[in-house]
Chains A and B, each alone.
Chain A
Amino acid sequence: MSEAAQSTPVADERIKEISALRKALIRPELGGIVGTIAVFTFFLLFAFDSGMFSAQGAMNWSVVSAQFMIIAVGACLLMIAGEFDLSVGSMIGFAGMMIAIFAVTLGWPVWMAIIVTFVLCTAIGAVNGFIVIRTGLPSFIVTLAFLFILRGFTIFLPQVIERKTIIGGIKDVAEGDWLAPIFGGKILGGLFQWMGDAGLIATFTRGSRQGQPVVDGIPMLIIWAIVLIIFGHILLTKTKFGNWIFAAGGDAEAARNSGVPVNKVKVLMFMFTAFCATVFAVCQVMEFGSAGADRGLLKEFEAIIAVVIGGALLTGGYGSVLGAALGALIFGVVQQGLFFAGVESSLFRVFLGIILLGAVILNTYIRRIITGER
């Protein structure tokens, strides 16, 4: 081959320039962006007067969305790495219960209860990962086992120890603790007080909280959601490790051949998912002041649905944290929006099923565009 032919390859005349629309289509966040716009348009048109977009209403669906976001970030990175975790919901219940047992029953300082619970739960996440890696079994089955194991313990332990399935009194023991407010506190209280005084947001007109704004700060839950999303997004798209996550889920064998530590990546992602579930649990326990054996039920599926709406492929190797966050936002807004709009809440499940199906079909289509299959 001559030098000239080497330096100037001819463009293949059979490859058409792809349109901007097609280019936009292969961004994983697209479904999430379109869905978010659609959902907000819908509720602005049909439920604007319901109070959904007042300060209180907005805070309501923001908190619910933030809950979904926290577990969706973990589920998203794990799914891109090619694995599932069905034990997320049980992990939420289990983590909450362990904090209650440590802090209330055993009387440990709350900060210690929180830290020990984080260590314990991420270790269980690592066990999940190691079993998947060592046995080569589908993570679906391994984590399904942990779904039952953890839920079983969450019901069994409080019954044996306290003879009940809900342990309360956490608010009292968390009083004055330095770590508890990082999960259960609120920030920017002064700003909201000022907005209340200035008449920008509604204030209570009677009762003991007269004059205080109806929304008295941003819950740390929302801050955690934002921090986890930013962390997950940068990790996935901007770091070396992010490339390994894509590679591990795209084709583990090819990744191994290129020297990517696939096993390490997968185990770490299982641990991160467990970490996110624990963040959710601690925030919830600190907000409610109690831990219940039924907490976190079905959360694993809600996390997976949010991730799929956000454009990730169930088969791994493709997806976006921002997309998953938008999926969680859609989830939260619709769930609370239907309530504000006065729609029978069971219809939410119908909606969920339809949107899930639509998202999976769209994702499959997008995958064909990316890989050029027909």
Chain B
Amino acid sequence: MSSDKTPIIKMQNIEKHFGSVIALAGVSVDVFPGECHCLLGDNGAGKSTFIKTMSGVHKPTHGEILFEGKEMHFADPRDAISAGIATVHQHLAMIPLMSVSRNFFMGNEPVKSVGPLKLFDHDHANTVTMDEMRKMGINLRGPDQAVGTLSGGERQTVAIARAVYFGAKVLILDEPTSALGVRQTANVLATIDKVRKQGIAVVFITHNVRHAMAVGDRFTVLNRGKTLGTAQRGEITPEELQDLMAGGQELVQLEGSLGGTV
């Protein structure tokens, strides 16, 4: 990323303690608009705590969050959402029994006035849903098709399209590909690429190095609550990332390739 751009979100020295457990011990990450920033780490590395801090679920014990250059204190996830930070969870995003269109507008229903009544504008919702899905490359049978009939990858794509449509500036994807097959993973990665090209900052959490390498612009590895630095695309090989995630046994050798960012 060129230095003339300012990061849309900058997390500085974030520490998070849960009682006597130190989940995050000073993590700094910045994300630029239009980039896909991959956050890698093994289980228990602190990825979830970190993104929950970013999305307003947790308050950091120490450290500061700068959003669009200003210091932010999110009281709860609603604050973060209205500021433009959207999180797409691996599960818990879609309701299988409801139609795609009802899911798409869940919590943001368009309303039209009919006499004294304010009714759910189904026509508008259906048109927008079909349009947005087509843009993302999903061919729906109709807007009333239940989300339950979609594949896991398509559900992720609907959730991403929804977040983008409702004005997300930062999109946090929590392991969107971990439960998917090869073809579906490719679709989700293609979706991430499209979203990035619209100028949205994507934070892509994964522990799969190959998925990260496929779309990532920069890579940050978390290990035991600390970051070992951020690497640019092309500066690091998948093997090196893998080793970092595993605990950084070959750290000395890697310091050079991380470009002094450690």
Interface residues of A (CB under 8 A from B): 1, 5-7, 9-12, 15, 17-18, 26, 234, 238-240, 242-244, 246-247, 250-251, 253-255, 257-260, 313, 317-318, 367, 370-373
Q: Tell me, in angstroms, the Cα distance from A105 to B141 when the chains sit together.
A: 63
What residue of chain A has the Cβ atom nearest to residue B138's Cβ? A9
Contact of B139 with A by CB under 8 A:
yes
- Which residue from B92, B109, B137, B146 sits with its C-beta under 8 Å from A254? B92
Cβ–Cβ contact A371 & B97, under 8 A: yes
Within 8 Å CB of A258, what residues of B? 93, 106-108
- Proximity string of chain B (125-144) to chain A, C-beta cutoff 8 Å, 1 when within and 0 when not: 00000000011011101000
CA–CA, A23 to B223, complex, Å?
Answer: 51
Are A246 and B102 closer than 8 Å at their CB atoms? yes
Known A-B contacts A254-B92, A254-B94, A255-B95; the reply to A370 vs B120 at CB < 8 A is no
The one of B77, B92, B109 that contacts A253, using a Cβ cutoff of 8 Å: B92
Query: B148 an interface residue at 8 Å Cβ cutoff?
Result: yes
**Whole-angstrom distance between the Cβ of A363 and the nearest chain B Cβ:** 12
Residues of A within 8 A of B108 (CB): 258-259
Find the residue from A244, A251, A313 having the highest chain B CB count within 10 A.
A251
Closest approach, in angstroms, between the C-beta of B103 and any C-beta of chain A?
8
Query: Which residues of B are found within 8 Å of A15, using beta-carbon distances?
Result: 141
- State whether A243 touches B190 (Cβ < 8 A): no
Q: Report the bound CA distance from A86 to B122 in whole Å.
A: 34
Q: Whole-angstrom distance from the CB of B148 to the nearest CB of chain A?
A: 3
**Is B149 part of the contact surface with A, judged by Cβ < 8 Å?**
yes
Q: Point out the residues of chain B lying under 8 angstroms from A253, CB to CB.
A: 92
**A373 and B194 contact, Cβ closer than 8 Å, known pairs A6-B137, A243-B102:** no
| Most chain B CB inside 10 Å of its own CB: which residue of A1, A10, A254, A260 | A254
Q: Does B89 contact A (CB under 8 A)?
A: yes
Q: Return chain B residues, CB-CB under 8 Å to A6.
A: 135, 137, 194
Once the chains are docked, how many angstroms separate the CA of A1 from the CA of B137? 10
Pairwise interchain contact B105-A251, C-beta atoms closer than 8 A = no
- Name A238's contact: one of B92, B97, B119, B146 (CB within 8 Å): B119
In whole angstroms, what is the CA distance A26 to B87 when docked? 32
- Checking B92, B149, B194 against A257 with a beta-carbon cut-off of 8 angstroms, the contacting residue is B92
Q: Which residues of B contact A372 (CB under 8 A)?
A: 146, 148-149
B93 to chain A, nearest CB (A): 6
Inter-chain CA distance A318–B98, complex, in Å, is: 8
In the complex, whether B262 has a CB less than 8 A from a CB of chain A is no
B78 within 8 Å of A (CB atoms): yes
B134 pairs with A238, CB closer than 8 A:
no
Across the interface, do A240 and B111 meet the contact criterion of CB distance under 8 Å? yes
Residues of B within 8 A of A251 (CB): 92, 95-96
Q: How many whole Å from B77's CB to the nearest CB in chain A? A: 8
Contacts of B98 in A (CB 8 A): 243, 246-247, 250, 317
